[in-house]
Amino acid sequence: MASLRTRLRSRAAHLVFLLTRPMTLGVRAVVIDKSDSVLLVRHGYVAGWHFPGGGVEAGETCTQALARELEEEARVALTGPPVLHGLFFNANPSHRDHVAVYVIRNFAVLGERAPDREIAEARFFPRVALPEGTTAATRARLAEILDAAPLREHW
């Protein structure tokens, strides 16, 4: 059995690693209904329309985070497995941020999402009529998924 000193040294080394080299991981859901309308959310704290999603918490898988964020942000539940579209480097918030993007075609709407400080609106939009302010990254992912545009590694 490892001594207390060895265990403390190991924990300290791990803490130094987390403080000096942390990487953040997030998930985004590209929810597409049968008529190719796309679910977008408008946050209360950042401009534009985005795919629903958020950070992966410690001890959580990407698909668990995806299901949690979808229910929290848009009142949508997965009814089938999501399909991983890609993993993207997002240098905007930090040079350590990565986003796993999933395509979801099997889902249930649990009800209307009431606005609050985090999410001002969550709605489906026809692909040909995306709202003004839809972010460039959102449009790029839709082009990759629906128009076979080349996959880019950067968000």
Report yes or no on 31 lying in a domain. yes
Place 15 in a pLDDT band, splitting at 50, 70 and 90.
low
Tokens of residue 21, six digits: 């080299």
What is the average pLDDT across 49-58? Answer: 95
Q: Could you tell me if residue 117 is inside a domain?
A: yes
pLDDT tens sequence across 60-87: 999 999 999 999 999 999 999 999 999 9
∠ CA 67-72-73, rounded to 5°: 100
Q: Which tokens is 112 given?
A: 């209307």
What's the structural domain count of the chain?
1
pTM, full prediction: 0.85
Alpha carbon 101 to chain centroid distance? 6
Structural domain contains residue 8: no
Q: What does the DSSP assignment read for 34-90?
A: TT-EEEEEEESSS-SEE-SEEEPPTT--HHHHHHHHHHHHH-EEESS--EEEEEEE-
What length is written for the chain?
155
Q: What angle do CA 58, 98, 136 make, to 5 degrees?
A: 135
Any domain includes 11: no
The CATH number for 87's domain is 3.90.79.10
Domain span including residue 105:
23-147
Residue 77 forms part of a structural domain: yes
Q: Is the Cα torsion angle 118, 124, 127, 131 positive or negative in sign?
A: negative
